[in-house]
Chains A and B, each alone.
Chain A
Amino acid sequence: METQLKELEKSAVSEIEKISSLEDLKNLEVKILGRKGELTGILRGLKDLSPDKKPIMGKLANDVKTHLEEEFRLRMERLEHDAIKKSLSVEFFDTTIPPKTKEIGHIHPLSQVQEEVERIFSQMGFAIMDGPEVESEYYNFEGLNIPKDHPARDMQDTFFVQDKNDPKHGRMVLRTHTSPVQVRTMEKYGAPLRVIVPGRTFRYEATDASHDTTFYQVEGLLIDKTISLGHLKGIMKEFLSRLFGKEVKVRFRPGYFPFVEPGLELDFSCLLCEGKGCRVCKHSGWMEFMGAGMVHENVLKSGGIDPKKYQGWAFGFGLTRLVMMRYGIDDIRLLLGGDLRFIKQF
């Protein structure tokens, strides 16, 4: 009997291995382990054995059964796995069909960059300020140390508004820069001050691919007791590096703006060539970015701040230019053109 059992075990194992369909495997299982199967057939002889052999054979038969059941289970798993695998390999699936999405809208690139700028400056402790777009000559010019007949007024061709005249504030203009908010903020909050003012500005100049009547600027103002030009370098380097997501260098050049003294222009290292010189930076290695300087004492006085106690700097850069630079936009008029083929790209 022992031989029979061993034989059965051996032949069954080899048969199981040969089987390649689930159905055949089930049939084989019935044939060998079923109620009328071969193993049962052999076990019928158990009753004829001597009492001392019975338990030994019984255990052996049980071991064989357990072993074979395990073999069947493993084979079964294998075959099921193969079957799934096979079904997967034959299934046709086109991954190139365009996606089904609910079309989401687009936020204008000016808004996107503006938010980024506001976020970075907020993180550096700057408050975000606002001021009127239709502004008095006083705040737009005189308050900023740009008296009447000053040649600097040439630099800012101005839109004037009809029939508005005030003895103190002069005529009314569309603000030519965000700088009027400097004086307004000083008047309202006093020193110390740490603010930026992003906003819409206007220039009376003919439009072309790089000039528009309407554009956006960001004004910055930091006033406290010991604020220096070194801090301006620090803040701008940090801001630009965060904005562009890489280490950016900044440099100062002398520049002239009546509301600052010393007056500066700030350049940053060309993002493309990193200072080596390329077409984008006109081979200088630097990109012109903004005007800045230490706030002129007359401006501090206009804002009611004592220049003996407080000092600080101001800057103004073109948000519109930044947007154009970032996305490679070559025509400024697209920004306020309302063409959705443009806006949907952002």
Chain B
Amino acid sequence: MLVSLNWLKDFVNIIVNSEKSSLNKVVVGYVEKIEKHPNADRLNIAEVNIGTEKVQIVCGGVNLKEKIYVAVALPGSVLPGNFEIKKSTIRGVESNGMICHLSELGLAKNDGKHEISIIGKAAPGTPFVKTLKIKGISPEDLRDLLTLKTAEVETIEKADKYLQKVVTGKLLDFEKIPNTKYHHKGTVDIGGKIIQLVFGSVHVAEKGWILPIALPGAHLPGGEIKEAKIQGVLSQGMICDDSELGIQNSSNGLTVFPEGTPLGKPIAEILGIDDFILEFDNKALTHRPDLWGHYGIAREIAALTDTKLKPYSPKITVPKIGETAKVEVKDFELCKRFCALIINDIKVGESPEWIKKRLSATGHGTHNNIVDVTNYVMTELGQPMHAFDKEYIKTGLIVRRAKKNEKIISLDGKERILDEDMCVVADHEKAVGVAGIIGGENSEINDKTTSIILEAATWNPSILRRTSVKLGVRTEAVQRFEKSLDSAWGELAIKKAAELILQLCPSAKIAGPMTDIKKPDLDKKPVKITLNVLKAKSKIGTDISISEMKNILEKLEFKVTTAGKSSLLVTVPSFRATKDVSNEDDLIEEIARLYGYDNIPTVLPELPTKLPMENPERFKKHRTRELFSYGLGFDEVYNYSFYGKSDLKKSQIPDSHHIKLLNYLSEDQTHLRISLIPNLLKNLELNVKYSGEVKIYEIGRTYKEVGQFMPLEEKKIGGAVLTKKKTDEVFYEAKGAIESFFDKFNITYKAVKGTENAPYAHPVKSITYLAENGKTLAQIFIAHPEIIKAYGLEKYSVAMFEINFTESLKLEKRGKTYKKLPRFPGIDFDISVVVQKNIEIETLENAIMDSNKSLITNVDLFDIYEGPNVEKGKKAVAFRITLQAQDRTLTDQEMLEVQRKIFSNLESLGGTIRGKN
């Protein structure tokens, strides 16, 4: 939300330092005598006492009189807008300064009247700033103050920051550049200098127009302007429309200055842009309906700076009799309060500069005086309004639910199809607006409108929010209504809008009393909360006195009475009571933030006597990572929890058991994963571009539909080993990784051949690890050739695995028992045997072990060989065997006996012992 500092000044005395310096030479003056200017009807000559001397000043203020105190800008003053006061001669009479209106000092709004400000009594010559009794604050300090105590201000910037080096220039002549589609070459007078520039024809410009010209060095929102050749033609500047300047000044988007405007003048000066704009983070205002207007922000600033807030009191008299708007609210659930007022004899036209300037500065477009006034009141008070052309309203207004498929063309020209959950404002024939969201085209204010019905209602926030989401319309109005607005604002808004309309169209007349329809129990008792002072101190964590708490709350317009030694009875003001402040904690927040979060001491809580619960799974996850990464050389990847249909197809996983997303962002993120494998395959696909050796793993969850409300979430470890060589080695590397993991956590398992429910696995080159209870702990496999092909990995060998981490850890056995170190030396010897290729290593190992179970302590496979020197269909397998006895040193005789037995066992499997004589 954008907030104008100048606008805030309507309600709170605030002065930023950079302005303060401009008031250096403004002093209090006492008008001793005035006489008529001999050569001008509307001017007077005043003799003003400025303390040290009496000076003569020519003044045009219509309310100038003798014996008043005024603010005098002495020669040398530079007032906001870069307006320098000089000693001068006005129609032949010397003038030594200027008697000011507060608006000329940047302290009030310019209401267009030719008045001076009459100030309170003070010693003549006193610097005027001192009489204001307001503390100056730098823009940065104001930003920080609000950010630290109210809501985040993202930026505070001078409103003219983009307008440096943008001046007025008169378009003298132009022509189309031959052979271009739309480029024109023009000459522009920028005040004593003629420059040439190239421009497009987005806006129709005419000779003699005075336009904003950005000169080289100007920093526009779109970038810096430089002298350049465009279409071969030198361009020394740019004609800018409002959007290019970041202003919203003209209704058609291009600001054209009136004839006679001085040339070469900074346009900021001409437009009077001397404001600071604060940009609030909207999210930080979510819970503060009261801050969605300037008055609310001014109230905060007043509280934060101990300054007085001016009351919001439109000066308007509503007639007691006359025509009133007929309004019927069908259901108070939809609308708590509906205020309406008829104004006749209006004249629709352009708004005055000061309204346009303020709306523009706060990011609003301008339309016509009536619509601008409704936007102005919304931006000022926070209450959105609507104006209907009365001529198009049949009989009266009705607030009701929309009918199913009821249609309305909204102000943006789009057809909206409504339903019964939505709320409309209708007349007796048709809907004329979607309540609180957007008006209807059928009753829109137009040039010929002469009579209007102003509406300011308090709508149901939830209904509006749902409607806004359904229709996809997010207006400033709904943004405010959905926060729950104060119903007291309806009446205020109507009065303020009426006041402005009467000011802008002197012909306008209020037709009669304001219609005010309220939900029956609306004026119920205000919200009262008992605040336990001790609780507040305990939660904030510091000792704040009861009187300080009271003081803080009162500054924020809460009414506070003491209710006992340590409790306060607090009445919440209506603008905070809609949702925001409803319990003790809400009051504690008010106290804490105004007391200053910075003032809360930093302390550590005492450690609990009860130790925290352990989370062994977390701990083991980290140990597992160390094993895989630092022990086994795998890299850890993180993948998304989703995949899409094409991934399912490529990895051949069926669609069943998947949890599917209702709304998704892309086609490859539609299903929640039930396996880590597909995304790991994608990782391989990506990484083979850069490396022929990949070893990766991921620890992540899978989400399986199991026919209950909550899906089954399990933690898995998935992994892959890929190499450029054609080899099954990858399988054994993966097997090594899994078995290391089981060993590390001392998990007992049973390995069986093959896999189930793993369509991506090679049917033969795969194993499943089972728990004793039959649950699958892990699968290892060579990737199925079709999968390999689908992922373009034909050149590689790929083994993969998936471990059910959750299930596996359930089986972890704590503690191992130590085996005594051998006291007697063991004997190692090697055996090489040639066997049929299809005999498994496990069979050979068993045959060896069976030879002497008590003496053989280790059998180590160290080579499998097929190829030259070994008969086709056979393989040579070599083992290192260790014999050891617990009670003696083994003799050669014993060793030979075991060896002989091993030989015969292997030979009985059809093996030939190599090197045996």
Judging by beta carbons under 8 Å apart, are B585 and A297 in contact?
yes
By the criterion CB–CB under 8 Å, are A340 and B641 in contact? Answer: no
Query: CA of A152 to CA of B605 in the docked complex: distance in angstroms?
Result: 31
- Give every chain A residue within 8 A of B626 (Cβ-Cβ): 107
B613 contact from A152, A163, A189, A204, Cβ within 8 A: A189
Least CB separation from A111: chain B residue: B625
Closest chain-B Cβ to A280's Cβ sits at a distance in Å of: 17
Interface residue ranges of B634-659 to A (CB < 8 Å): 634-642, 659
Interface segment out of the listed B614-622, B748-756, B765-773: B614-622
Interface assignment of B204: CB less than 8 Å from any CB of chain A? no
Q: Which of B593-616 contact A (CB under 8 A)?
A: 593, 597-598, 600-605, 607-608, 610-615
| B 281-320 binary contact with A (CB < 8 Å = 1; else 0) | 0011111100000000000000000000000000000000
**Binding stretch for chain B, among A41-49, A50-58, A72-80, A261-269:** A261-269
Q: Are B592 and A229 in contact (CB under 8 A)?
A: yes
**Are A231 and B691 within 8 A (Cβ)?**
no
Interface: A187 (CB within 8 A):
no
**Contact: A204 with B665, CB < 8 Å?**
yes
With A105-B633, A341-B690 as contacts: A252 and B597 at CB distance below 8 Å? yes
User: Which of B320-342 touch A at CB < 8 Å?
Assistant: none
Q: Which residue of B lies closest to A307 (CB)?
A: B585
The answer, yes or no, to whether A91 is at the interface (CB within 8 Å) is no
> How many Å from the CB of A231 to the closest CB on chain B?
4
Does A321 sit at the interface, judged by CB under 8 A? no
A261 B686 Cβ-Cβ under 8 A: no
Residues 189-243 of A contacting B (Cβ, < 8 Å) = 189, 192, 194-195, 200, 202, 204-207, 213-214, 222, 224, 226-231, 233-235, 237-238
Interface locus among B186-194, B264-272, B703-711, B795-803: B703-711
Is B462 in the interface zone, CB < 8 Å from A? Answer: yes
How far does the Cβ of A209 sit from chain B's closest Cβ, in whole Å?
Answer: 16
Q: Which of A202, A262, A338 contacts B686 (CB 8 A)?
A: A338
Q: How far is the CA of A45 from the CA of B600 in the complex (A)?
A: 105
Docked CA distance A234–B606 (Å):
11
Which of B44-52, B101-109, B144-152 participates in binding chain A?
A: B144-152
Cβ–Cβ < 8 Å partners of A230 in chain B: 540-542, 600-603
A207 close to B665 (CB less than 8 A): yes
Measured in the bound complex, the distance between the Cα atoms of B713 and A339 in whole Å is 26
Q: Is the CB of B585 within 8 A of A262?
A: yes
Are A105 and B695 within 8 A (Cβ)?
yes
Q: Is the CB of B608 within 8 A of A125?
A: yes
Nearest-neighbor residue (CB-CB) of A227 within chain B: B605
Chief secondary structure at chain A's binding surface: mixed
**B672 close to A (CB within 8 Å):** yes
Task: Report A158 CB to chain B, min CB distance, Å.
Answer: 8
Q: Is B589 an interface residue (CB 8 A)?
A: yes
Q: Is the CB of B588 within 8 A of A132?
A: no
* A111 vs B638: C-alpha distance when bound (angstroms): 9
Which of chain B's residues 553-597 have a Cβ closer than 8 Å to chain A? 583, 585-586, 588-589, 592-593, 597
Write the chain A residue with the least CB distance to B682: A338
B875 proximal to A (CB < 8 A): no
Q: Are A155 and B604 in contact (CB under 8 A)?
A: no
How far is B616's CA from A128's CA once the two chains are assembled, in angstroms? 9
Contact status A296-B585, CB under 8 Å: yes
Contacting pair B709 A136 (CB below 8 A): yes
A108 and B641 form a contact (CB under 8 A): no
Q: Which residue of B lies closest to A233 (CB)?
A: B602
Of the candidates B604, B611, B679, the one having the most CB atoms from chain A within 10 angstroms of its own CB is B604
Q: Does A85 contact B (CB under 8 A)?
A: no
- Asked whether B636 lies within 8 Å of A151 as measured between CB atoms, the reply is no
Q: How far is the CB of A197 from chain B (nearest CB, A)?
A: 10
Chain A, range 305-346, C-beta contacts under 8 Å to B:
311, 335-341, 343-344
CB neighbors of B among A110-152 (8 A): 110-111, 115, 118, 122, 124-130, 132-134, 136, 148-149, 151-152
**Interface pick from A1-9, A10-18, A164-172:** A164-172
A256 is an interface residue with CB less than 8 A from chain B:
yes
- Contact residues, B779-793 vs A (CB, 8 A): none
Which A residues lie within 8 Å of B344 (CB)? none
Task: Give the CA-CA distance A339 to B541 in the complex, in Å.
Answer: 47
Within 8 A of A (CB), among B168-214: none
> Which of B585, B614, B642 contacts A294 (CB under 8 A)?
B585
The CA of A265 and the CA of B148, in the complex, are separated in Å by: 10
Whether a CB of chain A sits under 8 angstroms from the CB of B630 is yes
Residues of B close to A111: CB separation below 8 A: 622, 625, 636, 699
* Complex contact B615–A238 (CB within 8 A): no
A127 and B243 CA atoms in complex are apart in Å by: 55
Is residue A289 contacting chain B, with contact meaning CB distance below 8 A?
no
B454 beta carbon closer than 8 Å to chain A: no
Q: Is B687 close to A, CB under 8 A?
A: yes
Q: Mark A147-190, 1 if CB is under 8 A from B, else 0.
A: 01101100100011111101001001010000000000000010
Question: Chain A contacts of B762 at CB under 8 A?
Answer: none
For the complex, give the distance between the alpha carbons of A277 and B672 in Å: 44
Interface residues on B, range: 35 or more
Asked if residues B629 and A125 are in contact (CB atoms below 8 Å), the reply is no
Contacts of A205 in B (CB 8 A): 665
A254 touches B662 (CB 8 A): no
In the complex, chain B residues whose CB is within 8 Å of the CB of A118: 618, 622
CB-nearest residue of chain A to B602: A233
Q: How far is the CB of A124 from chain B (nearest CB, A)?
A: 8
Q: A103-B633, A107-B625, A127-B615 are in contact. Are A253 and B152 (CB under 8 A)?
A: yes
A228: which B residues are within 8 A, CB to CB? 538-542, 600, 603
Is residue B664 within 8 Å, beta carbon to beta carbon, of the partner chain?
Answer: yes
Q: Name the contact of A339 in the complex, choosing from B586, B611, B664, B686 (C-beta under 8 A).
A: B686
Q: Which of A194, A222, A256, A264 contacts B286 (CB 8 A)?
A: A256
**Cβ contact within 8 Å between B638 and A108:** yes
Is B589's CB under 8 angstroms from A261's CB?
yes
Q: How far is the CB of B898 from chain A (nearest CB, A)?
A: 36
CB distance from B281 to the nearest CB of A (A): 10
Task: Tell me if A105 and B632 are in contact (CB < 8 A).
Answer: yes
Question: How far apart are A118's CB and chain B's nearest CB, in angstroms?
Answer: 6
- Please give me the residue from chain B that is nearest to A311 by CB atom: B539
Interface status of B811 (Cβ within 8 A of chain A): no
When the two chains form the complex, which single residue of A102, A224, A336 contacts B605, counting CB atoms closer than 8 Å? A224
In the complex where A172-B709, A265-B152, A340-B687 touch, is A105 in contact with B637 (Cβ < 8 A)?
no
Whether A338 contacts B679 by the Cβ 8 Å rule is yes
Distance between Cα atoms of A125 and B626 in the complex (Å): 24
- Which residues of the partner chain A approach B694 to less than 8 Å between Cβ atoms? 340
In the complex, A125→B711 CA distance in Å? 32
Cβ-based interface call for B465 (8 A):
yes
The answer to the question of A81 belonging to the interface, with a C-beta cut-off of 8 Å to chain B, is no
A195 to B696, CA, bound (A): 32
Please name all residues of chain A whose beta carbon is closer than 8 Å to the beta carbon of B285 when the two chains form the complex.
256
Given contacts A151-B465, A261-B585, is CB(A343)–CB(B637) below 8 Å? yes
State whether the Cβ of B903 lies closer than 8 Å to any Cβ in chain A: no
CA distance A253 to B154 in the complex (A): 13
A235–B638 contact, CB under 8 A?
Answer: no
Asked if B147 and A160 make an inter-chain contact with CB atoms under 8 angstroms apart, the answer reads no
Question: Does A106 belong to the interface (CB within 8 Å)?
Answer: yes
In the assembled complex, the Cα of A200 lies from the Cα of B715 at a distance in Å of 13
Contact across chains for A231 and B603 when beta carbons are under 8 A apart: yes
In the complex, A135 Cα to B8 Cα: how many Å? Answer: 45
* Given A127-B614, A160-B663, A206-B665: A231 in contact with B465 (beta carbons within 8 A): no
> B660 at interface (Cβ–Cβ under 8 A)?
yes
28 contacts between A and B (CB under 8 A): A102-B633, A105-B635, A105-B636, A107-B626, A107-B630, A128-B618, A130-B617, A134-B659, A149-B461, A159-B662, A160-B663, A162-B661, A174-B661, A192-B610, A194-B608, A228-B538, A234-B602, A253-B597, A254-B284, A258-B287, A261-B583, A261-B586, A262-B585, A263-B589, A311-B535, A336-B640, A341-B690, A343-B637
Given contacts A134-B659, A228-B603, 14 further A-B contacts (CB under 8 A): A108-B638, A124-B607, A149-B461, A155-B286, A161-B661, A164-B659, A192-B610, A213-B642, A234-B602, A263-B589, A265-B152, A338-B687, A340-B691, A343-B635
